[in-house]
Chains A and B, each alone.
Chain A
Amino acid sequence: MKVRSRDSKQAWQEDFESSPRRDDGIETSTISGVPVNPLYTSEDLPRRPEEMPGQFPYTRGIHPSGYRGRLWTMRQFSGFATAEETNRRYKYLLGNGQTGLSVAFDMPTLMGQDSDAPTSRGEVGHCGVAVDSLADMETLFDGIPLGDITTSMTINSPAAILLCMYIAVAEKQGVPADRLGGTLQNDILKEFIAQKEFIFPPAPSMRLVVDSIEYCAKEVPKWNTISISGYHIREAGSTAAQELAFTLADGMAYVDACLERGMHIDDFASRLSFFFDAHIDFFEEIAKFRAARRIWARWMRERYGAQKERSWKLRFHTQTAGVSLTAQQPELNIARTAVEALAAVLGGTQSLHTNAMDEVLALPTDKAARLALRTQQLLAYETGVANTIDPLGGSYFVEALTDEMERQAEAYFKRIDDLGGVIPAIETGFFQKEIADAAFRYQQELEQKKRLMVGVNEFMVDDEPPIEILRIDPKLEREQSERVREVRRKRDQAKCSNALARLRKAAAGTDNLMPYILDAVREYATEGEIMQSMIDVFGTYTEKAVV
């Protein structure tokens, strides 16, 4: 049998060599530059025991039942303008059967500053909802029972503050913290590496992350305390293997930091979650997701000695690639997003956000947001792809590519280790340089037409009709600024100042800061004031700009 199969492969090889080939100069490697063979056969299959879903190392999925047990969660990220407007949108979404919310904050909120700060001008309510104090958070979740839904909050440097605001709103609703479910992004390392929404230097930033993980393990046990994110690394221009490697390396850095604090691996590992990009190179993405599960399971069991099975399982959210979308012929983005979403599903994602076709231009309109959600529903209910668990498992190509992703990631772990770990590697600009190089290489390939983007460097049209986009009224900024000033006027100033002073003092010591932040939040200290109290002690970080 074996000999005959080799013979037939040899015969194919000869036929292939003598066949005419496309001569368009287009790259045949993956979008990340991984060389790809024209054909894979059983010879490319790894020699290892057969892998099964729900079994270590979970290459084929973390659940034995795949999507037969439960479909992925369709979790669309939204937030814009004021808390009041976003609250209306949330009620609409919940009224239409959505069970989870995902909050997008505006840039000043993400950067820990109030709407009336001078550097907030022009930014309030643009990329998400403006939240300055507990008062806005109360409005945002007004009439929404926090004990019955789960909420994902995309926020990093000020993550602890927003989580405390959420806990405080729940208190007012009479919902105890141990009933709250949701996810906090809280991944500061990828901010230093890619998205750059950092405020404090790395060490105090890590302290805050560990404080929140430690606090939640006791007080908010159902909360996913961190969503370790490759999405922003990829969107900044990295390759698939870099996204995979840097994200998992970040994950291990958080694990190391928690262990250093004295926590036990099995007490927090199962609350770590991940967030990946689904880019346009279909098979490479599927291989990336499969490799991620396998690598994480191995490291957790073998290097960190986790005993509980749920500590080994990598759970992840996926978002389709914003960077793959084009302003040109934007309707094409619907097709791109569908392909990317399919890769995420075939890669076994736990939850998914599909981008709207107009997100390359502005926040999505209602219609575009609905089409994006419908794309997921179409995949789930029309295509049949959810009926079989890991349907590409055993594919010669996908298995070989999964191994290749793993190999490249392990090579990066070695390089990061040689640099002294993730934080030293950040400080020397290692990740930033690797990503910038990859982004530049890709752009050059586009310019040389070694890669095509439909509608951008090929198949263009003249005079594209403008598409309708969502606009944020500029008067919103004045109103929100007035609102935060009113909060400052109305609160008990002495109590508020005392809480901030206690926080400042604690920041200079080693206490877990969560209870102090929660106290300040309850006294209606604003986000900017709470951040400033910590900046007084921690200072701020400035990146050495690497071009």
Chain B
Amino acid sequence: MARRTAVGHVRIIVAKVGLDGHDRGVKVVARALRDAGYEVIYTGLRQTPEMVVDAALQEDAQVIGLSIHSGAHMTLFPAVVEELKRREATDIVVFGGGIIPDDDIQALKKQGVEEIFTPGTPLQDIVEWLRRRFPEGSTK
């Protein structure tokens, strides 16, 4: 487990939003990010957008990773972005994953979700995306 350092440390909230309990993917991703040296806080299931943003602010996280498999992504992912705006925390980067059709990915990106990873994505791709997004962040 990575330790928190004063500068450039990247802390990630990983959350399951919505009602579905399918947590295989989110747990595998959480472990992979932790193994890559990030500090990962997994919130558990059934988080509302408000709860996710609360957790991110309390934990002083730079990144929120959202997972959903129920088809409610078009409602709940933008709701997290809106909540960040409302709480003036738009510096927090939001990405997501799950069963999300291509057309929806484009729409979500327009609404402020920075990246979407769909089933079959190599874990390394997610890690590399984070490294590019936070090049200054120490990961070990």
Contacts and interface: CB of A to CB of B under 8 A. Distances in A.
A453 B120 contact: yes
A37 B73 CA distance: 45
A447 B123 contact: yes
B30 interface: yes
B40 interface: yes
A461 interface: no
Given A439-B27, A456-B120, A361 B101 contact: yes
B87 to A, nearest CB: 18
A26 B31 CA distance: 24
A195 to B, nearest CB: 5
A545 interface: yes
Interface string A119-144: 11111001100000000000000000
A327 B120 contact: yes
Contacts of A443: 28, 32, 123
Contacts of B31: 436, 440, 547
A472 B71 contact: yes
Contacts of A197: 21
B70 A126 contact: yes
A-side interface mostly: loop
B122 A107 contact: no
A41 interface: no
B30 A126 contact: no
Contacts of A453: 120
A362 interface: yes
Interface string B92-103: 000000010111
B108 to A, nearest CB: 13
A395 B123 CA distance: 39
A118 B40 CA distance: 28
A122 B72 contact: yes
A127 B120 contact: no
Interface string B23-58: 110011011101000001011111010000000000
A2 B80 CA distance: 71
B99 A361 contact: yes
B72 A121 contact: yes
A460 to B, nearest CB: 9
A11 interface: no
A122 B75 contact: yes
Given A127-B20, A472-B71, A326 B42 contact: no
A108 interface: yes
Given A360-B99, A439-B28, A547-B27, A123 B21 contact: no
Interface of A: 107-108, 110-111, 118-123, 126-127, 191, 195-197, 235-237, 323, 326-328, 360-363, 435-436, 439-440, 443, 446-447, 453, 455-457, 466, 469, 472, 474, 542-543, 545-547
19 contacts: A107-B20, A111-B19, A121-B76, A122-B75, A123-B19, A191-B21, A196-B21, A236-B24, A237-B28, A362-B101, A436-B31, A440-B27, A446-B122, A447-B123, A447-B124, A457-B120, A469-B101, A543-B45, A547-B30
